Amino acid sequence: MSELFQKAFIGSMELRNHFVRSATWEGMAGENGEVTEPLIEIYRDLAKGGVGLILTGYSFGGVFQGLCRAIQTSSEMSLDPRWRPPFT
């Protein structure tokens, strides 16, 4: 367990510990895809919390944001057995 809190390296890049925050989609970009203060606050809090490596997510605005929501919804539906076709 103590190894989690020790330094780690990716090539020559030194990380303060072994904790990694995976990339996610927060859906917090502005209408035109711009970075918003709430989005900045998420990464600020993660950095203050001591995460060793933060992989940022992606942001889209306008029509792309709607498309991403549709893809996410269809992905979630594909995990629900009620939406899967029966296997033959």
- pLDDT string in tens for the chain (88-residue length): 689 999 999 999 999 999 999 888 787 877 767 788 998 898 889 889 889 998 887 665 555 555 555 555 544 545 555 555 554 4
CA–CA separation, 64 and 70 (whole Å): 10
Query: Residue 26: CA atoms inside 13 Å, Cβ hemisphere, count?
Result: 19
- Provide the whole-model pTM: 0.58
6, burial (CB in 10 Å: exposed 0-12, middle 13-18, buried 19+): exposed
pLDDT for the residue 35:
81
pLDDT for the residue 56:
81
